[in-house]
Copies of this chain bind each other. A is one copy, B any other.
Amino acid sequence: MSQLFIVGTGPGASDLVAPRAIEAINASTDLVAYGLYLDLLGGVCHGKQHHELPLGKEIERARLALDLAASGKKTALISSGDIGIYAMATLVFELLDQQIEGRESHPEWLEVDIEVVPGISAMQAGASRTGAILGHDFCTVSLSNLLTPWETIEKRIHSAGQGDFVISFYNPVSIKRDWQLNAARDILLQYRPASTPVLIGRQLSREDEAITITTLDQLDAKDVDMFTMVSVGNSESKHIVNPVNEKEWIYTPRGYKKKLSFKNEKLGEEVTV
């Protein structure tokens, strides 16, 4: 039977990998991934055939995963984070669609049983390390203009600014793309305060994790690399410091403050909504 698992393995820490992801990898004989993701997973990948393709070879990776599965090998296509958020999953279905529409010559792909396994994405790991920046309406914007025109990305950032969404930037910089994050910052400064809290999370949940809390006006592409996620609060997000243990947190409120104030005024009387 042709089986393809499309698996998100979380941000990196083994205790944030869903058991279903481990089951899928265990059940597979062949693993297709960018090499780093298999390194992060470690032991569960042993004894399997590894097919590692570098960055930039996403189409080839998706094709190979479908080809292997169609040939009868139980295959797992692996990305870190959630494989359905900007990663490989959508590309597999795009290839399937091309086949259904007669633009590919791989009818065997249609025989493959596909299961997508969700995972915890980098922005969720970053948010959890620093509190609850994603606590209210948020959006994700990929700053990679290799596939999406910059005009489209700009429009998205303007819309996110107008809507006052918390924004998580994926693919914030790369070797060739070093200006997009600053352009995004400058757009957002038209809509929200310079003091808006920003979370910069590098190698989240991994050994060399580094977390920085800064402000929107201080956000700079030079402080960010390919292993980093960036989340920008909305106009109400707050950066707080616990004076007792100096722990810093960012949270985005949902509007409970009005209820909390009302409760205090009523001297502990419960307010039901």
Contact = CB atoms under 8 A, between A and B. Distances in A.
A243 interface: yes
Interface string A236-271: 001011111101010111111111110110000010
Contact of A141 (B137, B244, B260, B263): B137
Given A15-B18, A116-B128, A160-B165, 19 more contacts: A15-B23, A16-B19, A59-B256, A82-B120, A82-B134, A84-B128, A85-B134, A90-B131, A90-B253, A91-B256, A94-B251, A96-B242, A97-B240, A103-B264, A117-B128, A139-B139, A139-B160, A147-B259, A156-B163
Interface string A131-160: 111111111111000111000100110111
A165 B137 contact: no
Interface residues of A, number: 95
This protein's copies in its complex: 2
A150 to B, nearest CB: 12
Given A86-B254, A116-B128, A272-B56, A18 B20 contact: no
A257 B58 CA distance: 12
A114 interface: yes
Given A84-B128, A147-B259, A159-B162, A18 B23 contact: no
A98 B23 CA distance: 44
B23 A19 contact: no
B90 A244 contact: no
Contacts of A98: 260
A13 interface: yes
| The 5 residue pairs across chains A and B that have the minimum distance between CB atoms | A159-B163, A90-B135, A147-B255, A139-B139, A93-B251
A215 interface: no
A198 interface: no
